[in-house]
Structure 1
Amino acid sequence: MHVVIAPDCFTGTLTATQAAEAMAAGWHDTAPRDALTLLPLSDGGPGFIDVLGRSLEGDTVAVTVSDPLGREVPGAVLVVERDGGRTAYVESAQAAGLHLLAADERNPALTSTWGVGELLLAALEEKPDRVVVGLGGSGTNDAGAGLLAALGAGPAHDLARGGRALATAPDDALSGLLAVREQLREVDLVIATDVDNPLLGFKGASAVFGPQKGATPEVAQELEGALGRFTEIVARTLPEPLDLLSGAPRRLEREPGAGAAGGLGYALLLLGGRRVSGVQLVLESVGFHDVVRGSDLVITGEGTFDWQSLHGKVASGVAEAALEAGLPTVVLAGQVLVGRRETMGLGISGTYAVAETPEQLDAALLDPVGTLRARAARVARTWSAGR
């Protein structure tokens, strides 16, 4: 039996590679005769560069950038030459990731995306034809204002002090935005997102993702107003773009993916970027369809399999691609918070949680590799035909 193991990272505990290796070890414990292919994945969030670097022949350029609170952290740009073009890949979570913040530091009213701008500048120094920015797993909610400041679109004291400060930003805070757009005009800027949320509203960045980053309901409401103010500044600065087909005005804050990574998607749209599904881009880059050809089962997973997992995340992308290939998919996650009815439409044949009780969750956090390995071994007893 041939099994493809293709998980995302288990946020906060395991990288995608570590998760795949733990699953493979557990499966081998039960079914040592099965052939296993490990294919760690990402949807644009943490691990984006590592995952692509395993499959794409390219050079990794090491850089030092700022984290959400302005401290120096290591980052990298992956530069790939292919089909006569040069592409630079950037992982925004390296500079804006929630994992860079201690629990008592998580406050999206204060965190900035300045460091993501530094990553983008490093990518542009490589003279690429295309820049792909992976979005996801952020600890910020500033609509990408910090990124724009780092690129020279406006003063750092107006734009790089977190989302809350945007409420009092002056009308001319983005006086350099047009010049930055012009500098990027010859670059194909691709926004690889894990979600399709707009910037504002009940499905926007502040309302949906703010609480995950430490925002209280009051802070989330405050951020909603501050980001609304930011869109007013944009409207005063940037001519309203038009839809190429209909000629109708485009409200970029309403575009799918504008709310990704706390609004980083919005800032990149302002710079002329175009959005793609992060997981689909990764699946194509790593040759997922070729890898699964001739296999019997696909296993994917992530830390928490919930309603968000059903839309644009690795698990849903893998399941849909496997379904096209006529293969069953099994999800193995730290926690499973959705039922069978919600997953059947994606072609998921089974979901299995490492932790089903608070006690098991504590054990999983203390020994993520061991508990994931043990759960994979039990799943193999159900699914392996060769044990």
Structure 2
Amino acid sequence: MHVVLAPDCFTGTLTATQAAEAMAAGWHDTAPHDTLTLLPLSDGGPGFLDVLAGALSGETVALTVSDPLGREVPAAILVVDVEGERTAYVESAQAAGLHLLAPEERNPAVTSTWGVGQLLAAALEHSPQRIVVGLGGSGTNDGGAGLLAALGAGPAEHLARGGSALAKAPDDALSGLLAAREQFAGVDLVVATDVENPLLGFKGASAVFGPQKGATPELAQELEGALGRFTEIVARTLPVPLDLLSGGPRRLDREPGAGAAGGLGYALFLLGGRRVSGVELVLDAVGFHDVVRRSDLVVTGEGTFDWQSLDGKVAAGVAMAALEAGLPSIVLAGQVMVGRRETMGLGISGTYAVAEAPAEVDAALLDPVGTLRARAARVARTWSPAR
């Protein structure tokens, strides 16, 4: 039997590559006769660059940028040349990721996306025809204001001090936005996201993702107001774009994906970016569809398989691709928080948790490789026919 192992990272414990290798070791323990293909994946969040670097022939350019609190951290961009077209890949989580912050430091009122702007500036230095920015896993909620400041759109004292500071930003805080946008003239700026949330409202960045980044309900409301003020400043600065179909005004803050990564999607839209599904972009880049057509079973996974996993995440993208190819897919996750009814629509044939009870969570965190390997070995007994 040919089994494809295509997990996302297990956030906080394993990279996607480490997870795939642990799954492979466990599967081989039970079914050494099976053929295994490892395809670690990402939906635009942490690990985006590593996954693409492993699949594409390109140059990884190392650099140093600012983290959400202004400290220097190592980062990179991936530059790929194909048939005369140069593409620069950027992973926003390398500069704005929640994993860069200790639990006590997680405060979206003060964290900034300035470092993501530094990554984009570095990408522009390579004169690409296309820049692809992976969004996800951020510890910020500043609408991408810090990113814009790093590109010269306005003063850092107004734009790069976190989400809450935007509430007091003056009307001319984005006086350089048109010039910043001009830097991307002739560049196809692609925004790869795992969510379609708008910037504001009940489904917006502050309400939905703010609590995951350390925001209390009160702070989430404060951030919502600050981002609202930010859109007012944008409206005073940037000509209103028109919808090509209706001819009416186009509200970029309401575009699907504007709320991704704490509003980074919105800032990239202001620079002329267009949204694509992060997981679909990665699936195409690694040749997933061709591999699946030659396989018998697809195994995906992530740290926590919950309701958010069902739309736009790696597990959902993998399951849908397997369904289109007429193959069964299963999910092997650290924890499983949704039931059979929720997964049936994706064609998922089974879900398996490493930690099946709350008491097992600590053991899984202490030995993520060993526990994932052991669970994969047990799953293989069910799915791999005896030779």
For 1:79 and 1:186, the matched residues in 2 are separated by: 17
For the aligned residues, what is the CA RMSD?
0.7
Aligned-residue identity in percent:
85
Q: Which amino acid aligns with 2:232?
A: E
For 2:48 and 2:302, locate their aligned partners in 1 and report how far apart those are by CA, in whole Å: 14
Which residue identity lines up with residue 184 of structure 2 in the other structure? L
* 1:20 aligned residue: 20
* 352-361 or 152-161, larger mean C-alpha shift: 352-361
- Which residue type is aligned with residue 85 of structure 2? G
Q: Give CA-to-partner distance per residue, 1:187-215, whole Å, 9 cap, x none.
A: 11000001010000110000000011111
Whole-angstrom distance in 2 between the partners of 1:269 and 1:294? 38
> Which runs of structure 2 are paired with 1:258-277 in the superposition (5 Å)?
258-277=258-277
Q: CA deviation at 1:182?
A: 1.4
Q: Aligned with 1:308: secondary structure? A: helix
Counterparts of 1:32 and 1:181 in 2: how far apart (Å)? 54
5 Å-filtered alignment, 1:182-193, equals 182-193=182-193
Could you tell me how far apart the structure 1 residues matched to 2:305 and 2:239 are? 41
Amino acid across the alignment from 1:71:
R
Kept in 2, the 8 Å contact 1:4–1:36? The answer is: yes
Gaps of 5+ in 1: none
d(CA) in 1 for partners of 2:98, 2:183: 30
Deviation of the 1:178 alpha carbon: 0.6
Correspondence 1:82-161 to 2 at 5 A = 82-161=82-161
Distance 2:322 2:110 in 1: 41
- Structure 1 residue 386: Cα displacement: 3.9
Counterpart in the other structure of 2:365: 365
Contact 1:205 1:263 in 2 (8 A): yes
Moved more, 38-47 or 178-187: 178-187
Q: Can you list the C-alpha shifts for 1:85-127, whole angstroms capped at 9, x where unaligned?
A: 0000000000000000001000111100000000000100011
CA distance in 1, matches of 2:183, 2:132: 16
SS at match of 2:346: coil
Q: Secondary structure at the match of 1:127?
A: coil
CA distance in 2, matches of 1:344, 1:304: 18
CA distance in structure 2 between the aligned counterparts of 1:199 and 1:116, rounded to whole angstroms: 18
Aligned-pair CA distance for 1:181: 1.0
Once the two structures are superposed, residues 124-169 of structure 1 have per-residue CA deviations (whole angstroms, 9 ceiling, x without a partner) of: 0011000000000000000000000000000000000000000000
Cross-structure match for 2:328: 328
Aligned residues of 1:194 and 1:313 also touching (Cα < 8 A): yes
SS in 2 for 1:229: helix
Q: Is the 8 A contact 1:2 1:34 kept in 2?
A: yes
Question: Following superposition, which runs of at least 4 residues in structure 1 exceed 3 angstroms of deviation?
Answer: none
CA distance in 2, matches of 1:10, 1:66: 24
Check the 8 A contact 1:31/1:380 in 2, yes or no. yes
In the alignment, structure 1 residue 9 sits paired with structure 2 residue 9: yes
Question: Does the Cα contact within 8 Å between 1:114 and 1:147 map onto a contact in 2?
Answer: yes
- The alignment covers a number of residue pairs equal to 387
Structure 1 letter corresponding to 2:75: G
Q: Deviations over 1:211-246 (max 9, x none)?
A: 111111111111011001100100111111001122
**Residue type matched to 1:100 in 2?**
L
CA distance in 2, matches of 1:106, 1:364: 24
Deviations 1:58-97 (A, max 9, x none): 0000010000000000000100001320000000000000
Partner secondary structure for residue 210 of structure 1: helix
Cα distance, 1:294 vs structure 2: 1.7
Contact 1:34–1:386 (8 Å) recurs in 2: no
Per-residue CA deviation, residues 20-41 of structure 1 (Å, 9 max, x unaligned), is: 0001111111111111000000
- C-alpha separation in 1, matches of 2:319 and 2:227: 35
Q: Aligned partners of 1:210, 1:375: CA distance in 2, in Å?
A: 33
In 2, are the aligned partners of 1:33 and 1:386 still within 8 Å (CA)?
Answer: no
Superposed counterparts of 1:1-387, under 5 Å: 1-386=1-386
Deviation at 1:385, TM superposition (A): 1.4
Deviation string, structure 1 residues 246-291 (Cα, Å, up to 9, x no partner): 2111100000000000000000000000000000000001110111
- 1:315 is matched by which residue type in structure 2? A
Q: Which amino acid aligns with 2:251?
A: R
Query: Following TM superposition, by how much is the alpha carbon of 1:363 offset from its aligned partner in structure 2, in angstroms?
Result: 0.6
Distance in 2 of aligned mates of 1:312 and 1:330: 17
Partner Cα separation in structure 2 for residue 312 and residue 87 of structure 1: 23
2:336 maps to amino acid: V
- Cα distance in 1 for residues equivalent to 2:181 and 2:192: 19
CA distance in 1, matches of 2:313, 2:151: 29
- Tell me how far apart the structure 2 counterparts of residues 114 and 96 of structure 1 sit (CA, whole Å): 8
Q: Which residue type is aligned with residue 158 of structure 2?
A: D
Report the residue type matching 1:34 in the other structure. D
The aligned amino acid for 1:169 is A
TM-score by length of 1: 0.99
